[in-house]
Structure 1
């Protein structure tokens, strides 16, 4: 495990919540379901961060692990053009994190970030913290503050 992305996340978080520390696990947590099981929380508490693309324009959507992001909402946010999820290579290039470890802040490229209100129902949610073995516990309010995101209703229950 390369510690550079994790250290980048730690340094970024210090500016907002100095006492906040990523939780590190022995094994990677590649899905919301696996992460929720490892923590003993609901799948919805795992904040999934997904990078979408339309043409040359990208945007990050952060939603509860138990919801699906509507393509209409993605299209509305990105504008014209066919929208699709970014490729794993694009994810690394734009975010600086590999798929399965995408943190919704401290990105390599400045892109719009949208946080879905589906996360509001939890006192704490857990984002990836830069490496597949990590999770960062945050409140919805702190997540909004750290990401500088726009709140939207982008999801539906799966």
Structure 2
């Protein structure tokens, strides 16, 4: 159902973007990279954080870690933590391992790490732990209306 949701969203927005469905699991960076035949850094991780009552979806290259100070500075009050799997599903409409960074159930700020710019194409999940969407950073930013950040430092990138 979630893969179909992403496919239909993309058909209406940009028919040149086509998600790929796999028989194999692609819910971790390593699994997705192996199935796609690319390096892990090209896999775009979508991670939902919660700070107080605020949520934010952070999308970063597969080889990057997100600095908690960055999350706190962007989401505000409270100690930031990973959203629970139930919260991820409620907010995004996708289960952990298949979180697509658009066509979400609820509007939340989306933060795109500039580390993905080093690739012509990155691969986001497409709604299931058996899917991927090849997409350029520029197109990802356009679709998500994401705010470009550096997840290592507390600064926005223009």
TM-score, normalised to structure 2's length?
0.94
In 1: Cα distance, 2:64 partner to 2:8 partner: 30
In 1: Cα distance, 2:97 partner to 2:55 partner: 18
Determine if the alignment matches structure 1 residue 122 to structure 2 residue 126: no
Post-superposition offset of 1:82? 1.0
Match of 2:156 in 1: none
Post-superposition offset of 1:10? 1.0
**2:98 corresponds to which of 94, 101, 112:** 101
Match of 2:76 in 1: 79
Alignment of 1:47-86 (within 5 A): 47-86=44-83
Q: In 2, are the aligned partners of 1:51 and 1:86 still within 8 Å (CA)? A: yes
**2:39 corresponds to which of 28, 38, 42:** 42
In 1: Cα distance, 2:30 partner to 2:84 partner: 22
Q: In 1, are the aligned partners of 2:43 and 2:61 still within 8 Å (CA)? A: yes
In 1: Cα distance, 2:143 partner to 2:12 partner: 9
TM-score, normalised to structure 1's length?
0.94
Mind listing any 5+ residue stretches in structure 2 that lack a counterpart?
Answer: 154-158
In 2: Cα distance, 1:51 partner to 1:10 partner: 22
Q: In 1, are the aligned partners of 2:19 and 2:133 still within 8 Å (CA)? A: yes
Alignment size in residue pairs: 153
Q: CA RMSD in A?
A: 1.1
